[in-house]
């Protein structure tokens, strides 16, 4: 609608202005095509986009191993509120960063200037990330409240960095829902410091290398995210750059491969950070005195850590990369992931157990370090203990995770471990399908009204282990609410008693619950319709895509096993039972059966196994069909007659 209006305005303007203004007019039209939004763009490159990058030109001038000037000029049309953040009119700064130029101009849909902002009009605040208690960065940003969409921001900045450990990489497609008309990237290396460079997926997007360290991308269509698909960074175009000699807050570093990068980290960021007070040393030596093996000692140290510290994010120190001193962690009894991992290492050093500090990407999505390109990567720190050919990984920020348990956050990915000899890329623990079990058994007494009472037991293992979610610490009210929400297929469920047993040593969590419901099986005339899958009903089918564009990726496999015995009250007779079902697919298998045991007893069994794997996009449809058939069978009913 707004696009139409802007076109209309433009043509009216053309009509009313005659020949004498021709020169002016041409210039005007040129200006307007730059800053106005037009229908054609929205319908083509801007399709599916919340924002359209009309131009994004970045120049990096490397003037010394510790001096880098980054100039950027960015013109973006924002289509809606969700796209507001794509204006990206902000610069972070701290004592190593100097903003030399900062200005922006905002245009309306017709390309008419709304307002120009100079550096002093930018809002200057501490860069609170909402997580950290403190970080020492500041940011200057443009606080622009849009009244109408689309609008266009023309943004120019020039920033001088003394810290060169992070040379801005180039990701021309930027993000989901973002279209790009033109984006360029050029590095001027005015020094003899060699640059390492890595190009990723450029050919898939027809991106040209137009000179040494000079790239241009044009007409990149906006991409929408899809469920169960690979992460954006695995297919988006990118150029990564690292200086082989760099500076991190006044500390010179060398990076030609992971080995020396790791060595640099060890020698400058980690060394001399692990001094502990004598009293603590004595205490930990005393505690581990009797432990026969290194692993036993490590378990005691880990328990000591969990009991005596907690996690607080504090982003200070060298670029947020140097851990807090172990003695500070000890004194304050808190630290962030770096501080706590390093503190644990200090404790392990005291008791003579070798361990390595490791940098990793933390998150449910699996993201690995790039084995072939060493650069400052990662967002999390953990600790690892070599154990024969294998490694035990310790999450040091949690107070209740079992020893060596890392499922769903740092499992199955490449991480960088820092040894005195240098850095090494190591793959973390993988949790196998058959180890990720949820086993549910229940005895269910069903009465004539369709209500039931039941004793349920659930045991969870591996990535399904529920013992580190803090359930035991919750109030009784919230524990009850959790079961009511988990079994929301049973209306007006009453949770009568709850018992948890957490075996951290074996990593098994057992939940024993007694529940009841006044009416569960629904009545129709003289029939009761009973859905036998009471406690593990699939509630969500993956969404349908009329055209799936990305491959299907399942990060973790699992196995669910259910076995319930129904005891029917006298007067209830079976009219119809479902036949057994067994489905085998390449993604996994599903089986369900009901057996009449006589004496008013029925046994329901269900088994669902899903495998980890990556499949071509064509398979998504079959995968979804697998889930819909599971949903169908999970919903199928036993018909009982009441007399």
Residues lying near another protein in the complex (CB under 8 A) are found at 1, 48, 50, 80-83, 114-115, 123, 125-126, 128, 133-134, 143-148, 177, 224, 307-308, 310, 312, 331-334, 399, 470, 473, 475-477, 480-481, 484-485, 488-489, 491-493, 519, 522-525, 527, 529, 540-541, 543-546, 575-576, 578, 628, 631-632, 635-637, 639
Grouping H, G, I as helix, E, B as strand and the rest as coil, residue 407 is: coil
Distance of closest approach, residue 372 Cβ to another protein, in angstroms:
36
Distance of closest approach, residue 121 Cβ to another protein, in angstroms:
10
Instruction: Give the integer Cα–Cα distance in Å for 322 and 467.
Output: 32
Residue 153, sorted as left (phi over 0), alpha (psi -120 to 50) or beta, turns out to be beta
- Closest among 359, 129, 364, 369 to 233, alpha carbons compared: 369
CA atoms lying within 13 Å on the CB side of residue 290: 1
DSSP notation for 172-234: TT-STTEEEEEEEEEEEE-SS--EEEEEESTGGGT-EEEETTEEEEEEEPP----TT---GGG
Distance of closest approach, residue 621 Cβ to another protein, in angstroms:
12
Distance of closest approach, residue 489 Cβ to another protein, in angstroms:
8
Distance of closest approach, residue 78 Cβ to another protein, in angstroms:
11
Distance of closest approach, residue 525 Cβ to another protein, in angstroms:
4
Q: How far apart are the first and last CA of the chain?
A: 65
How does 92-128 read in b/e, with b if 16+ C-beta sit within 10 Å?
Answer: ebbebbebeebbbbbbbbbbeeeeebeeeebeeeebe
Cβ distance to another protein smaller for residue 540 or 643: 540
Grouping H, G, I as helix, E, B as strand and the rest as coil, residue 282 is: helix
Cβ distance to another protein smaller for residue 306 or 384: 306
SS3 content of the chain, % helix, strand, coil (to 5): 25, 40, 40
19-28: list long-range contacts, CB under 8 Å, 24+ apart: none
CA quadruple 344, 347, 349, 351: dihedral, nearest 10: -130
Instruction: Give the integer Cα–Cα distance in Å for 625 and 90.
Output: 46
The packing angle between helices 294-308 and 278-288, to 10°, is: 130
Q: Mention every residue, 6+ apart, whose C-beta is less than 8 A from residue 300.
A: 284, 287, 288, 291
Q: Mention every residue, 6+ apart, whose C-beta is less than 8 A from residue 404.
A: 392, 393, 394, 429
Cβ distance to another protein smaller for residue 78 or 456: 78
Cβ distance to another protein smaller for residue 358 or 521: 521
Distance of closest approach, residue 546 Cβ to another protein, in angstroms:
8
Cβ distance to another protein smaller for residue 154 or 247: 154
Cβ distance to another protein smaller for residue 325 or 442: 325
Distance of closest approach, residue 480 Cβ to another protein, in angstroms:
8
Distance of closest approach, residue 547 Cβ to another protein, in angstroms:
9
Cβ distance to another protein smaller for residue 7 or 419: 7
Distance of closest approach, residue 83 Cβ to another protein, in angstroms:
8
Cβ distance to another protein smaller for residue 157 or 306: 306
Cβ distance to another protein smaller for residue 376 or 578: 578
Cβ distance to another protein smaller for residue 194 or 470: 470
Q: Give residue 293's Cα distance to chain centre.
A: 36
Contact 604, 566 (CB under 8 A): yes
């Amino acid at each position: 609608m707004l696009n139409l209006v802007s076109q209309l305005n433009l043509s009216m303007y053309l009509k009313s202005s005659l020949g004498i203004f021709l020169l002016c007019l041409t210039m005007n039209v040129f200006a307007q095509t730059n800053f106005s939004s037009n229908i054609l763009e929205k319908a083509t490159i801007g399709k599916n986009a919340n924002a359209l990058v009309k131009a994004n030109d970045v120049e990096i001038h490397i003037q010394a191993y510790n001096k880098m000037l980054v100039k950027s000029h960015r013109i973006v049309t924002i289509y809606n509120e969700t796209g507001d953040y794509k204006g990206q009119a902000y610069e972070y700064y701290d004592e190593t960063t100097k903003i030399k130029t900062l200005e922006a101009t905002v245009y309306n849909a017709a390309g008419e200037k709304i307002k120009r902002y100079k550096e002093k009009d930018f809002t200057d605040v501490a860069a609170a990330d909402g997580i950290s208690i403190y970080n020492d960065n500041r940011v200057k940003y443009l606080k622009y409240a849009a009244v109408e969409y689309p609008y266009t921001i023309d943004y120019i900045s020039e920033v001088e960095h003394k810290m060169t450990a992070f040379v801005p990489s180039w990701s021309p497609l930027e993000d989901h829902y973002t279209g790009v008309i033109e984006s360029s990237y050029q590095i001027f290396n005015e020094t003899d410091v060699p640059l390492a460079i890595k190009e990723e997926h450029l050919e898939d997007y027809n991106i040209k290398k137009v000179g040494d360290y000079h790239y241009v991308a044009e007409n990149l269509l906006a991409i929408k995210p899809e469920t169960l698909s690979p992460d954006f960074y695995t297919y988006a175009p990118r150029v990564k750059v690292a200086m082989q000699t760099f500076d991190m807050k006044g500390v010179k570093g060398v990076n030609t491969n992971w080995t020396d990068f790791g060595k640099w980290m060890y020698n400058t960021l980690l060394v001399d950070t692990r001094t502990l007070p004598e009293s603590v040393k004595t205490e930990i030596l005393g505690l581990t005195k009797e432990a026969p093996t290194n692993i036993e000692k490590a378990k005691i140290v880990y328990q000591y850590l969990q009991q005596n510290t907690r996690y607080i994010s504090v982003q200070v120190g060298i670029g947020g990369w140097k851990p807090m001193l172990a003695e500070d962690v000890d004194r304050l009894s808190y630290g962030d992931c770096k501080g706590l991992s390093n503190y644990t290492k200090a404790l392990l050093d005291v008791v003579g157990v070798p361990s390595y500090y490791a940098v990793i990407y933390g998150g449910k999505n699996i993201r690995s370090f790039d084995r072939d390109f060493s650069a400052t990567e990662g967002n999390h720190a953990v600790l690892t203990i070599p154990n024969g050919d294998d490694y035990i990984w310790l999450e040091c920020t949690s107070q209740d995770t079992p020893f060596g348990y890392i499922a769903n956050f740092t499992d199955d990915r490449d991480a960088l471990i820092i040894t005195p000899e240098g850095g090494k890329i190591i793959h973390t623990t993988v949790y196998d399908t058959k180890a990720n079990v949820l086993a549910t058994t229940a005895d269910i007494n069903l009465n004539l009204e369709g209500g039931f009472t039941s004793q349920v037991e659930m045991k969870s293992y591996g990535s399904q282990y529920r013992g580190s979610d803090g359930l035991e610490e919750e109030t009784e009210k919230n524990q009850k609410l959790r079961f009511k929400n988990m079994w929301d297929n049973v209306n007006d469920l009453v949770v009568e008693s709850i018992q948890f047993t957490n075996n951290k040593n074996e990593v098994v969590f057992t939940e024993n619950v007694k529940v009841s419901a006044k009416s569960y099986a629904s009545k129709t005339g003289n029939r009761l319709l009973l859905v036998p899958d009471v406690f593990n009903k699939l509630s969500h089918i993956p969404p349908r895509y009329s055209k799936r564009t990305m491959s299907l990726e399942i990060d973790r496999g699992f196995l669910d096993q259910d076995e319930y015995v129904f005891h029917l009250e006298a007067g209830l007779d079976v009219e119809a039972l479902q036949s057994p079902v067994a489905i085998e697919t390449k993604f996994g298998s599903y089986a369900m059966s009901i057996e009449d045991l006589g004496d008013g007893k029925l046994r329901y069994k269900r088994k669902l196994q899903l495998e980890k794997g990556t499949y071509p996009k064509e398979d998504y449809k079959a995968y979804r069909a697998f889930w819909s058939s599971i949903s169908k069978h999970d919903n199928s009913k036993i018909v009982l007659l009441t007399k």
